[in-house]
Amino acid sequence: MKKILVIHTGGTISMHEADGQILPGDVNPMTHVQLTRFDNIEISSIDLLNLPSPHITPQHMLIIYQELKQKLPYFDGAVITHGTDTLEETAYFLDTLALPDDKPVVLTGAMRSSNELGSDGVYNYRSALRVAADDKAVGKGVLVVMNDEIHAAKYVTKTHTTNVSTFQTPTHGPLGLLTKHDSLYFQTAEARVRFDLSEIKGTIPIIKAYAGMGAGILVLLDSERIDGLVIEALGAGNLPPDAVPYLTDLIAKGTPVILVSRCFNGIAEAVYGYEGGGVALAKAGVMFVKELNSQKARLKLLIALNSGLTGQALKTYIEG
Ligand code: ASP
């Protein structure tokens, strides 16, 4: 018998449709799901939050972490139900924090609410429980299970507004998949640095680069009020030239600036030597984040700063 901790946090999986609108309710339908086929799973569930995921903040993620840290030692694994809009961010956050051991921690959600035709909530919930109770999932890091696929928290992203196969892992592909009776893993989890935090604060905006951006929106940022900046740069990691002096000034004032690519696939690297190109940006002190999307890179910097990393230690972690 496997003991699985379930933490509900809200999202479409907990909502229902009424008069053409998707709405949160007082009672989470997942708490009434009878999973009779899971004779070998004992579920202990907590309604920790009941939030649409656009309302989720890093402070909420920390509450989920603290709950897991305290309770996971008494279970074989955990499932967290969550709205899909920011699910990848909570998954990455938990994967970067120091959960007590290597037990499976699985996030899931739904694209269709509980009473909509073809609702995927119960199915995904059941799949997440299967993975959380599976010895093969031990040591794989925090996982996202949706639509029969098992994804690593580090890379998975929501790619479609409504389709049930919205969660994908660009560049790498999923870690594994669920069949009717089994689970298959194609890849192992990567080694990673993990942090224990008791509070999280800071303001780190994300700016997306675009053709003709110039210094544009950058000059509107009040450098006194931000703790760091994430730039979603063009291609391999390049910016329109007018952006460079502003970023150089910001870095000189001690504000860390990190860069990811706005491309869906691939890795940001300092490749081009022209004005505004990645080589000049790296020389100016911009730190390149390999492979993460901007919303996860933002959490990486936030966690690093809240852990007290500065200077070379910060650069090594951010670029590692
Ligand atoms: N907007 C919803 C949320 O993230 C979408 C979902 O749950 O799938 O809460």
287 contacts: CB under 8 Å, gap ≥ 6: 256, 257, 258, 259, 314, 315, 318, 319
pLDDT at 35 over 80: no
Of the candidate ranges 50-64, 139-153, 176-190, the one whose mean pLDDT is the lowest: 176-190
Tell me which of 55, 81, 84, 166 to substitute to probe ligand 1's pocket, judged by most ligand atoms within 8 Å of the beta carbon: 84
pLDDT at 58 over 70: yes
pLDDT at 109 over 70: yes
Atom of ligand 1 nearest to the CA of 87: 4
311-319 and 294-306 helices, crossing angle to 10°: 150
Q: Which of 84, 108, 157, 169 is catalytic?
A: 84
- In DSSP terms, 260 is beta-bridged to 232
pLDDT at 144 over 80: yes
Q: Give the model's pLDDT for residue 100.
A: 86
Tell whether 53 is in a known binding site. yes
pLDDT (tens digit, 9 = 90+) per residue, 216-236? 788 888 888 999 999 999 999
Q: For the whole model, what pTM was predicted?
A: 0.96
Q: Give the model's pLDDT for residue 283.
A: 95
90 CB under 6 A from ligand 1? no
166 flagged as catalytic: no
Instruction: State percent of the chain over pLDDT 90.
Output: 87
Q: Give the model's pLDDT for residue 187.
A: 87
Distance CA 289, CA 293 (A): 9
Q: Give the model's pLDDT for residue 158.
A: 98
Q: Give the model's pLDDT for residue 32.
A: 82
Instruction: Using the mean position of ligand 1's atoms as its centre, give its distance from the Cα of residue 84 in Å.
Output: 5
Q: Which two tokens stand for residue 208?
A: 């997306």
What the chain holds in terms of domains, given with CATH numbers, is 2-185 (3.40.50.1170), 206-319 (3.40.50.40)
pLDDT at 40 over 70: yes
121 CB under 6 A from ligand 1? no
Residue listed under structure tokens 């994300």: 206
pLDDT at 39 over 90: no
pLDDT (tens digit, 9 = 90+) per residue, 295-318? 999 999 999 999 999 999 999 999
Atom of ligand 1 nearest to the CA of 82: 7
Per the prediction, the chain carries an average pLDDT of 95
